[in-house]
Chains A and B, each alone.
Chain A
Amino acid sequence: MSIISIKSATKRFPNGFEAIKGITADIAAGSFTVILGPSGAGKSTLLRLMNGLETPTGGSIHITGETLGKSNLRKMRSCVGMVFQQFNLVERLSVVTNVLTGRLAHRSWLGSLFYLFRNEDMEIAQEALARVGLTDKAWNRADKLSGGQQQRVGIARALAQRPKVILADEPVASLDPVSSEEIMMLLREICDRDGITVVVNLHQVDLAKRFADRIIGMNSGRVVFDGTPAELSPLTLQAIYKRDEIKDDTNLNLALAYA
């Protein structure tokens, strides 16, 4: 059963740039999908459409059968956690408060005014922190942590939402190879153990091949490949990473030779 379905979505920014040129896709519940593509292919925009951080110019996004719109944005976002390339934590808040922000959608604004949370929220946050292995850092300020640790806090924040889906926008692009490996393992484990659907934007072909159930290849706002990692051939990689303005791209061929 598909948990997210994107129906002929398009997105044109106010400056005229068309980031998404008509994409239709269904994402199965409990699957691990990697969206692969060069910078500027529209991967980020596609992911942001699924969380309502961008609204489509045309077409629609459905999550668990409900159409994403202005009126149900809060409810929809609460079941779609998001992880960012730059972690996007509130640096001056403690790690545990950052994780607790994942509970905000379930709480009234009045309690939030005084930074009050219920015990059950605290337990959920504690559980999420244990899950990413940062229990001992709970009261540290978020900006005192290393990049890999900050990204784990980002994942804990998403987990605290008790989401059905986690969207990760280039989660390892600012991390070293070891931390990248840890983060990808963590996401894969969350998908396998909790049955949370995971959609990850990547530009590393090797990581995509190793972790994904399904790879969606994008180039300049369109889907150019959709299949399993095994089906990803050198030829399809050429299609994903090809650059319109350059013919006989030796840099491209070189890069893909080692992919």
Chain B
Amino acid sequence: MKPRQTTPSASALPPKPRNLFPVWLAALLALLWLIVHDLEISFETLAYGVADMAEYFSRYSKPEFSELSRYLELMKITLATALWGTVFALVVAFFLAPLAARNLAPYPLAYRAARELLNFMRAMPDLLLALIFVAALGLGPLPGVLALGVHTAGFLGKFFAESLERVDKGVYEGVTSTGANFPQIVMYAGWPSIQREALGYVLYILDRNVRMASVLGMVGAGGIGLALHDTLRMFNYGQSAALIIVILVTILIIDYASAWLRRRLS
């Protein structure tokens, strides 16, 4: 038997690729330091402020539930706002998404228009939309519904369009080859293929809209947020605490419910 030869030159690895991670990390840290310096953020103030903050939060320590039934009524309005906002978004996305899917859109121009419209809706913050609609339509849940609907239609439309783009080309061809037209291809090959994903997205958006609807009330879009806004303005800490607890519990319940449903779906 021949002794095994070890030739160091043969086993030498090619030169190690340069790793630029430390450079990027250093640059990022430098940027963060510059920001602190530039904005004159002082960590000392934060340290001194902790005591003050503790005192402020302690004012919320006695929640006052005497008007609980009114709060629950308001929470119901907020939930209704979120639900209708989601339905509005779903209807808009249902019509726009197939046009915004590159592999389905019948005309390139329709594709561009649908895409840009969805981008625009997504780019408009719902808080800003709510302010605009409150100014135009007055106080109440309706501006909240529209604000949530327009903003999340942009999201849902994009999610749906991307799901439709991921469907196997053959499925579309199978239906196309029978002579089906664009709406028929969408209804028979598109939506059925993504129904489960789509339902998951809708639940996620509903979940998000409940959270957002509570905040939208603060700019006058009705529901529990409006009440919280009022009690905060009147320094009524007991009632504010009760309202915050109602909001938090509701959001938690919705969060768990939608997570459970989505798990059931997949």
Residues of A within 8 A of B (CB): 51, 53, 73-78, 80-82, 84, 86-93, 97, 101-102, 104-105, 107, 109, 112-113, 115, 154, 157-158, 161
Contacts and interface: CB of A to CB of B under 8 A. Distances in A.
Given A53-B176, A84-B174, A157-B178, A113 B188 contact: no
Nearest to B176: A53
B184 A154 contact: no
A86 B176 CA distance: 15
Interface stretch (B10-18, B123-131, B189-197, B221-229): B189-197
A88 B178 contact: no
A249 B167 CA distance: 40
Contacts of A84: 170, 173-174
A88 B184 contact: no
B46 interface: no
B170 A104 contact: no
A128 B189 CA distance: 20
Contacts of A86: 168, 170
A93 to B, nearest CB: 5
A92 B188 contact: no
B253 to A, nearest CB: 31
B173 A92 contact: no
Interface of B: 168, 170-171, 173-184, 187-189, 192-193, 195-196
A234 B174 CA distance: 36
B179 A93 contact: no
A154 B177 CA distance: 11
Contact of B188 (A77, A82, A90): A90
A82, A88, A89, A107 — which one has the most chain B CB atoms within 10 A of its CB?
A88
A220 B21 CA distance: 50
A80 B174 CA distance: 12
A115 to B, nearest CB: 7
B241 to A, nearest CB: 48
Given A74-B181, A109-B181, A88 B173 contact: yes
A-B residue pairs, 7 tightest by C-beta: A105-B179, A88-B174, A77-B179, A78-B179, A82-B177, A109-B183, A104-B180
10 contacts: A82-B178, A84-B173, A86-B168, A88-B168, A90-B193, A93-B188, A104-B179, A104-B181, A161-B178, A161-B179
Contacts of B176: 53, 77
Contacts of A102: 178
SS of B interface (majority):
helix
Contact of B175 (A87, A90, A92, A109): A90
Contact of B179 (A74, A89, A90, A91): A74
A91 B173 contact: no
A93 B192 CA distance: 7
A51 B181 CA distance: 14
Contacts of B188: 90, 93, 97, 101, 104, 112
Contacts of A87: 174
A121 B244 CA distance: 58
B179 A112 contact: no
A77 B171 CA distance: 16
A84 B188 CA distance: 17
A161 B192 CA distance: 21
Contacts of A161: 178-179
A158 B175 CA distance: 10
Given A84-B173, A92-B193, A113 B180 contact: no
A92 B197 CA distance: 12
Contacts of B179: 73-78, 104-105, 161
A89 B193 contact: no
A158 B174 CA distance: 10
Nearest to B194: A92
A91 to B, nearest CB: 7
Given A82-B177, A104-B175, A104-B188, A113 B170 contact: no
A161 to B, nearest CB: 6
B189 A90 contact: yes
Contact of A77 (B168, B170, B177): B177
B48 to A, nearest CB: 61
A89 B183 CA distance: 18
A170 to B, nearest CB: 12
A78 B180 CA distance: 8
Contacts of A81: 177-178
